[in-house]
Amino acid sequence: MIPFNKPYLTGKEVHYIYDAVHTGKLSGNGIYTQKCQKWFEQTYGFGKCLLTTSCTDALEMAAILIDIQQGDEVILPSYTFVSTANAFVLRGAKLVFADSRKDHPGIDEASIEGLITSKTKAIIPVHYAGVACDMDAIMEIANRHKLFVIEDAAQAIDSYFTGKDGIRKPLGSIGHLAAFSFHETKNIISGEGGMLVINDNQFAKRAEIIWEKGTNRSSFFRGEVDKYGWVDVGSSFLPSEIISAFLYAQLENIEIIQNKRKEIWNKYLDGLADWARKNDVMLPSIPVFASNNAHMFYVTCQNFEQRGRMIEKFRANGISAVFHYLSLHQSAYYCDKHEGRILRESDRYSDCLLRLPMYFELPSQDQNKIIQVLLNEK
């Protein structure tokens, strides 16, 4: 069976874990946590970075930080993972779902302004497949209406947005806050893991307190206060040093990982371009302002039936190809709270998008076989 995903180990993970174990400091915010955080701040010019136990946690921290209250509204794409939504629902927010772009599952920036009301507090763009949303348009709308922007950059490590000013910015550096994931299905992994990026400095101090269970423990360890105590709400958001040690080994090898993934991604694109044109299947399109971090390779079929046939055919050939999100506005949990607006593109991606196996160690002959299955599908 060719799996859909296979976590890649660089070989250094166990070595750093051994080192972390040997130093005897196993809880969070130790040497490896700080090494990782510094790596992100220096490599991408992010504001303050805090490792978390997941991207889900980082999004929950973001919702606390922008002080979401009962009845506040947040605008997010319907075509996303449940965590993008749950973080805000947990604090009483009402979700206002936006549609996806025609050429890409990312949020349709042109539809956002019409969804803003006096209760809107934030916009949550999701960089689907690591491909940037139109951050110029989104930041401009947010600034004009005084809204916060929280980037769900779970899939977007080492990917970029080039603005109208020609400046190329890493995803996760643009919104007031951003959340990354190191879940084993992402490009850079630690099993479970995530990170909150705080680009708007007004949130930096409070973020650290929320991160440390509502205490000013971080200030205490820096010698800024002589005892620490309970000063705000918070939770247990820190990963252990064992997780951070694992993550650091991955970060050291990011270039190798990214180059290999891009090679695989481009081979799919080259191998399938003619076939896609003839069969009216959409291959991933990268908007001019976005880069490709090769997080995912997907095809968008003509309809639900065609996708079903392809999944069947893959299965018969021992290949695991999988669909992705079901529109959240159609979900069992939220459909009766959504106000009936039709989100055509989101539903189309729910019905028609199919993801192909994509991982560092995908053997070339296996990839040839995957491509051949599609070429045989008329």
Binding site for ligand PLP (CB under 6 A): 54-56, 80-81, 83-84, 126, 152, 154-155, 181, 183, 194
Strand 194-198 relative to strand 48-52, pairing: antiparallel
As measured in angstroms, the least distance from the Cβ of 262 to ligand PLP is 19
Per-residue buried b or exposed e for 166-182, using 16+ beta carbons within 10 Å of the residue's own CB: eeebbbbbbbbbbbbbb
| Contact assessment for residue 77 and residue 129, using Cβ atoms and an 8 Å cutoff | no
As measured in angstroms, the least distance from the Cβ of 183 to ligand PLP is 4
As measured in angstroms, the least distance from the Cβ of 83 to ligand PLP is 4
Comparing CB distances to ligand PLP, the nearer of 125 and 357 is 125
Comparing CB distances to ligand PLP, the nearer of 133 and 198 is 133
Per-residue buried b or exposed e for 34-44, using 16+ beta carbons within 10 Å of the residue's own CB: ebbbebbeeeb
As measured in angstroms, the least distance from the Cβ of 361 to ligand PLP is 20
Distance of CA 276 to the CA centre of its chain: 27
Q: Is 362 exposed, middle or buried (0-12, 13-18, 19+ CB in 10 A)?
A: buried
| Contact assessment for residue 123 and residue 88, using Cβ atoms and an 8 Å cutoff | no
Residue type, 263: E
Comparing CB distances to ligand PLP, the nearer of 29 and 83 is 83
Length of the chain: 378
As measured in angstroms, the least distance from the Cβ of 127 to ligand PLP is 8
Comparing CB distances to ligand PLP, the nearer of 289 and 325 is 325
Q: Return the SS3 of 214.
A: coil
Residue 70 to residues 106, 114, 218, 269, Cα–Cα distance (Å): 27, 22, 30, 46
Comparing CB distances to ligand PLP, the nearer of 183 and 206 is 183
As measured in angstroms, the least distance from the Cβ of 239 to ligand PLP is 11
Comparing CB distances to ligand PLP, the nearer of 133 and 374 is 133
